[in-house]
Structure 1
Amino acid sequence: MSVEYILLLMCGSLLVLLITGLPIAFVLGFLGIVFGYFFWGPHAIFLIPANVWGTMKSFVLLAVPLFVLMASLLQKSGIIEDLYNVMHHWFGPLRGGLTMGTVAICTVAGAMTGIAGAEVVPMGMIALPEMLKRKFSKTLTIGAIMAGGTLGQLIPPSLLMILYGAMTGDSIGKLFAGGITCGLVLSGLYITYIAIRAGINPSLAPPLPREERAAVSWGQRFLMLRGIILPIFVILLVLGSIFAGIATPTEAAACGVAGAFISAVVRRRMNVRTFVDCAWDSLRIGVMCMWIVMGATIFGATFNGIGGYAYISDFITGLEVNRWIVLAIMQLILFLMGCILDPTAIVLICAPIFAPLARDVLGFDPIHYGLIFMINMQMSYLTPPFGYCLYYIKGVAPRGVEMDDIYVAALPFIGLQATGLVLVAAFAPLAIWLPGILMK
């Protein structure tokens, strides 16, 4: 049987088994072992474990459970509540101020947690009920919270960037640096969109009433700025140590855990029960990621061993079409996969295949392509029917918020994410300028 038929059968089997709802880690591992045995015979029993061991012993992967632990500690420390209190009184007097401030909070929180959607739940519980009570636009408010929540995947320390770098060999520090500018581009697009909508129709996101603004003096507002000290401390501890060359991403993750623990202690939110809950979150999510990494490594090793990468590379080279067309096709494939698959699985399946093609065949800078990839994965958290943020917000939304409202709320922000993807793809300096300065 020719290579193309084996690859087609392998990918077709993957799609069929995923549709059945089986755990993706076991589906990937099973198919990798079966097709490896079919192609290499009993030797596959020795070749595959050696390849898996080479990936799983990576020091970089230790950063995953550490960043999850840091995010969990920060979420339970009440820092996001402090940020919301600051935003409420500083942004509230503006048209659309509370909604724009919500995106700003998610941007800052994303730089602390590194997990897409981690901000959706607390902001959905704190900001959404208050803004709906003030008769804000339901769809604009919900969309802003969900879109802001996805920024944690793009703004460092992003867990998906760590996995992407581990699978492709690209510098995680450079991905982090590029993620700052790309994340700010997306955040700026969201805020600009909200400002325009609120400027045209102030009833969508009205400013705070004058009497409510007058009740808080400027002195009190400046005093509230103490609430941003701990977030800045954690961000500088993690990102500052990486960009200064003091620590690797894994070591910076350990520093972040220490900073998050100190923040929780300072705010008197730490006890044995809280720490155990956070440790359990880290264990549960970390183990899940490691299983998926193992399964994807087995699948990828077999796919490439059979000749999958070489076949696709030769096929693309033979097309003789503009590289931007091929890039657009890649992004369309990722977008469609994001509608039905977990973003982590997509990164682990596609990054080892697409990243070398973009670098070696199409000639894109690896950091530039990696950030385009990450923006596409950010979209998968909002795309119906299975986008995670859609269900995060539904789980904490007040009565009266239906799934139809949430789907409608997501659509304009998906369009803004697509706009951001095109901007970053077309203007490479948005992705590679800051890494070139910080990571020389």
Structure 2
Amino acid sequence: MRSTPRSALLAFTLTFALIATLAGPSLAESKDELERKKNATNSELSGAQQSYDESSKAAADAAAVLQASQAQLAEAQSALGSVRGQLVAAQALDAQMQVKLEQSEADLAQAESDLAAGEQDVEASTAEVVEFTVESLQDAGAGLRAFNELVSGADPTEFTEQVAINNTIADSQLSKLDTLDATRVLLDINEQKVQALRDQVQVERDAAAANLANITVLEQQAAAQEASVAQLVQANSTNKSAADAAVAADASDIAALEADRNALEAELQRLAAEELARANANANSGGGGGGGGGGSSTGKLSYPLSSVRITSPYGFRIHPITGKRRLHDGMDFGAGCGTPIKAAANGTIVSQYYNSGYGNRVILNNGVINGANIVTTYNHLSRFAVSPGQRVSRGQTIGYVGTTGSSTGCHLHFMVLVNGSHTNPANWIG
């Protein structure tokens, strides 16, 4: 349960109104009433302290989560920078590939043009060879006639001229055949070049398309990373702000409740001093009595459990739940849940109630022992065995071990208050 500064202030005002009405003859009743008020305030303060511890831990957790998400953001931003660098490189590569593709396509166009021209040259050369063959067949008879005329006594010069003409025609025709062969070879080369360029252009087009797809993916990844991490940091920042606000509210509650408790403790100490004075006066006049309600006794407190197994002594320690270093205001005894708890001395049950921090607790006023007013408290009980206002004897069962409230397992948290202030129980039991 969380209290508010307003409710704490109201409790403080009512408490002092009550104190103002106390009279001397009702000193024991006044002290018991103040004990109850103090216990109620301690209950609220314990709840507020637990809430503060929890909200502080939540704030620390939120801060840690925020710090982790900010580290993730830094990593994501670094990854984003890398992705953007890859994106720029991919875009530059795309531009280079486009230039190369355009050049390859121009080379392909030129090669295809050369191929077409070569095909035309082959066709022309082929036509000339065909024409030459026909002419050769037609001129075959002229050569024979020149030879017959030579045999028949014709002028040898005419025969020589005819042979020279035939040789010239033959040389020309052989040249045309060579040209035809060369043209065909060039044609084959151009065809291979055209095919290679077509394959190259296709490869470059595929590579350009793949690079463009990679650019798209990189752009999507960059946008997704930036958006998701920014959203995470914003959410964690909001959570941390809420946690900080809860810590501030709980700290305000604690401050008001501590002021109330301090006032009550001061008044209890004053009343304890009066009780001690009265006990001393009774002793001097021969009217001494037992402890727990105005009398005086000597000796030590008994152990509250039959089996003594101390699991955590009085003093500063790291809290097992909050992880913070704070004062452990009592002594922990390890025991199974349901183990009977014994009164450490004679006394009167001031109150018993549930507290979010101490769980089920019993407050026992043991009166004056060794010249000091002693109050013992028994905490984290599973259930009670006595009632408020009941007189109990040393060793009487007043409750049973449990793990209620802020507890990590079955145990008894035993506290000793001397003149209204808690102290180390080890100095009083034995």
**TM-score surpassing 0.5?**
no
Question: What's the TM-score once normalised by structure 2's chain length?
Answer: 0.23
Question: What's the TM-score once normalised by structure 1's chain length?
Answer: 0.23
Q: Whose helix fraction is larger, Structure 1's or Structure 2's?
A: 1
Q: Whose strand fraction is larger, Structure 1's or Structure 2's?
A: 2
Structure with larger RCO (C-alpha < 8 A, sep 6+): 1
